[in-house]
């Protein structure tokens, strides 16, 4: 009898362990955590932003702060969601690391030049678009390549970044070219400048940022895709997702959005200011 009782006890203990382990893994994966509720409690939203992308999110080595349109928009949206004392915390992401960092709960949201695509929307929830970019190419001034078609020959090398959809898109528009993928945009630009490729491809806004710093390089041929940027949150975080969409509307309606567009883009040659305003 004693033996039976202790066996039942053991089975019961094991059952409790299994159930509690299951609960733990659920909360650590973020499935059951209400991120908006936690953010309200800590009065902080943790954003994943680029730190290698001038105009959108670029690390300023002078004060170790990331600066750009997306950083400012994230700050404005944080205040809409948490109130005027709400804090925005920024974590650097690259095109490759942004989705895993969100999935692991290291960041609450991605605002990092990320195009809303049906593929990505299977893994994350996107807000409506907060910026409409398009893919283009950057070449050295005087280059014989005048547009994406000029890259469609054997021997052409196009530079891009791992984890961006630009490296996939370019295969459709210049299928004969070889695509060399670097780990981030500063490395891709260094590769272009050292002659490792004929052109660098990504969104026009990002390329404009590079050409400001490097006047010997220009964006040519116009855009050949549509790249609407969305803010990504983890699946199952409806309250945060809704709060993001509402905050975006408020920032747009208050005129703050247009002020930020002006601040970051008004003296960018070739940038369509009117087209970007909301």
- Note whether 227 binds ligand GLU by CB under 6 A: yes
Q: Compare residues 29 and 180 and give the one whose CB is closer to ligand GLU.
A: 180
- Note whether 166 binds ligand GLU by CB under 6 A: yes
Q: Compare residues 87 and 271 and give the one whose CB is closer to ligand GLU.
A: 271
Q: Compare residues 92 and 164 and give the one whose CB is closer to ligand GLU.
A: 164
- Note whether 78 binds ligand GLU by CB under 6 A: no
- Note whether 200 binds ligand GLU by CB under 6 A: no
Nearest-approach distance from CB 43 to ligand GLU, in angstroms: 29
Q: Compare residues 95 and 237 and give the one whose CB is closer to ligand GLU.
A: 95
Nearest-approach distance from CB 56 to ligand GLU, in angstroms: 9
Nearest-approach distance from CB 185 to ligand GLU, in angstroms: 7
Binding residues for ligand GLU restricted to 86-115, rule: CB under 6 A: 95, 113-115
Q: Compare residues 81 and 188 and give the one whose CB is closer to ligand GLU.
A: 188
Nearest-approach distance from CB 31 to ligand GLU, in angstroms: 25
- Note whether 165 binds ligand GLU by CB under 6 A: yes
Binding test (CB under 6 A) with ligand GLU, winner from 77, 126, 203, 230: 203
- Note whether 161 binds ligand GLU by CB under 6 A: yes
Nearest-approach distance from CB 266 to ligand GLU, in angstroms: 22
Contact by Cβ (8 Å): 240, 233: yes
Nearest-approach distance from CB 53 to ligand GLU, in angstroms: 7
- Note whether 70 binds ligand GLU by CB under 6 A: no
| Number of residues lying near ligand GLU (CB under 6 A) | 11
Nearest-approach distance from CB 216 to ligand GLU, in angstroms: 23
Tokens of 99: 């989705």
Residues paired with residue 110 on neighbouring β-strands, in sequence order:
48, 232
* b/e code 203-242 from CB counts within 10 Å (16+ = b): bbbbbbbbbeeeeebbbbbebbbebbbbbbbbbebeebbe
Residue nearest ligand GLU, CB atom distance? 164
Q: What does the DSSP assignment read for the chain?
A: -HHHHHHHHHHHHHHHHHHHHHHHHHHHTTSS--HHHHHHHHTEEEEEEESEETTTEEEETTTTEEESHHHHHHHHHHHHHH-TT-EEEEEEE-TTTHHHHHHTTS-SEE-SS-B--TTGGGTEEE-S-SEEE-EEEEEETT-S--SGGGG-STT-EEEEETT-SHHHHHHHHSTTSEEEEESSHHHHHHHHHTTS-SEEEEEHHHHHHHHHH-TTEEEES---S-EEE--EEETT-HHHHHHHHHHHHHHHHTTHHHHHHHHHHTT-TT--HHHH--
Nearest-approach distance from CB 168 to ligand GLU, in angstroms: 9
User: Which positions lie near ligand GLU, rule CB under 6 A?
Assistant: 95, 113-115, 161, 164-166, 202-203, 227
């Amino acid at each position: 009898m004693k033996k039976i009782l202790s066996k039942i006890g053991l089975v019961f203990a094991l059952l409790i362990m299994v159930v509690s382990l299951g609960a733990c893994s659920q909360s650590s994966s973020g499935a059951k955590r209400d991120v908006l509720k936690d953010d309200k409690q800590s009065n902080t939203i943790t954003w994943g932003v680029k730190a290698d992308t001038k105009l959108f999110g670029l690390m300023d080595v002078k004060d170790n702060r990331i600066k750009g349109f997306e950083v400012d928009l994230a700050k404005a949206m944080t205040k809409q969601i948490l109130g005027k004392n709400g804090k925005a915390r920024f974590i650097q992401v690259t095109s490759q690391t942004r989705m895993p960092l969100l999935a692991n709960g290291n960041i609450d949201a991605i605002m990092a030049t990320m195009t809303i695509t049906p593929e990505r929307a299977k893994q994350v929830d996107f807000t409506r678009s907060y910026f409409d970019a398009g893919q283009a190419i950057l070449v050295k001034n005087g280059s014989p390549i005048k547009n994406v078609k000029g890259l469609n020959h054997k021997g052409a090398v196009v530079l891009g970044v791992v984890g961006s959809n630009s490296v996939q898109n370019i295969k459709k528009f210049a299928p004969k070219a070889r695509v060399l993928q670097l780990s981030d945009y500063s490395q891709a630009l260094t590769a272009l400048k050292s002659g490792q490729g004929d052109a660098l491809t990504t969104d026009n806004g990002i390329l404009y940022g590079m050409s400001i710093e490097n006047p010997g390089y220009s964006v040519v041929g116009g855009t050949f895709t549509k790249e609407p940027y969305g803010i990504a949150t983890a699946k199952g975080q409806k309250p945060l997702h809704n709060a993001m969409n509402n905050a975006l509307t408020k920032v747009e309606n208050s005129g703050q959005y247009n002020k930020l567009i002006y601040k970051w883009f008004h003296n960018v040659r070739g940038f369509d200011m009117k087209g970007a305003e909301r």
